[in-house]
Amino acid sequence: MTKEQITNEFKNVTGINEAKKIYKNLAKKLHPDVGGTEEEFKLLNNIYNDFIEHKIFFSNESKIDLELEKIISQILHYENIIIELIGSWIWLSGDTKAIKDTLKDLNFKWASKKKMWYYGEMKGKNLKPKSMDEIKSKYNTQTFRSEGKKKIVG
């Protein structure tokens, strides 16, 4: 496929999940292991990353801080994780053990009591820690899921 053909696949995409589906479908065709070429696959990755970083917003109702949007776009492709944007913080749960080094590289910290990863600026130590439910009720919350492959039982 040419650059123009790949770009046209993303032409009318309005949401992150739709872009992710198109990427996965094209990857199944363009990956070198399934008959595509390395050049086509690199082109797909470049176009997809550019699209996610510059041409799509996660929500039309509220604009997410650009820094948070870029961090979310870097982890959204991982499977079996739940990404929650709570206030100006990103919280991760699910199957994160395999990607813990990546999360550390992105400046995520581990909240041992909550058993979740978080990304955000600490303004000071809270003497009375809050539960996730208390935090979610206080701040606006948006959830982005990264679901794993579903098995078909026949």
Residue-wise DSSP of 85-124: EETTEEEEEES-GGGHHHHHHTT-EEETTTTEEEES---S
How many Cα atoms are found within 13 Å in the side-chain-facing hemisphere of 32?
7
Cβ–Cβ < 8 Å for 51, 19: yes
Q: pLDDT tens, 98-139?
A: 999 999 999 999 998 889 999 987 665 666 778 888 877 777
The encoded tokens of residue 55 equal 């041409």
Continuous H helices in the chain: 3-9, 16-30, 38-54, 66-75, 100-105, 132-138
Per domain, the residue ranges of the chain are 3-54, 66-146
Answer whether residue 153 shows pLDDT above 50: no
Please state which of the ranges 6-10, 78-82, 87-91, 118-122 shows the lowest mean pLDDT: 118-122
Contacts of 38 (CB under 8 A, 6+ apart): 32
Give me the helix-helix angle, 38-54 and 66-75, nearest 10°: 150
Q: Work out the average pLDDT over 70-92.
A: 86
pLDDT of residue 64: 55
The string of DSSP letters for 124-146 reads: S--SS---HHHHHHHS-EEEEEE
pLDDT of residue 79: 85
pLDDT of residue 62: 46
pLDDT of residue 88: 80
Answer whether residue 70 shows pLDDT above 90: no
Cβ–Cβ < 8 Å for 96, 90: no
Answer whether residue 59 shows pLDDT above 60: no
Comparing C-alpha atoms, which of 5, 101, 6, 8 is closest to residue 45? 6
Please work out, in degrees rounded to the nearest 5, the angle formed at the alpha carbon of residue 146 by the alpha carbons of 52 and 31. Answer: 65
pLDDT of residue 116: 92
Q: pLDDT tens, 16-57?
A: 677 888 888 999 999 999 999 999 999 998 888 887 766 655
3-state DSSP call for residue 100? helix
pLDDT of residue 77: 83
Q: Work out the average pLDDT over 10-18.
A: 75
Q: Work out the average pLDDT over 85-99.
A: 89
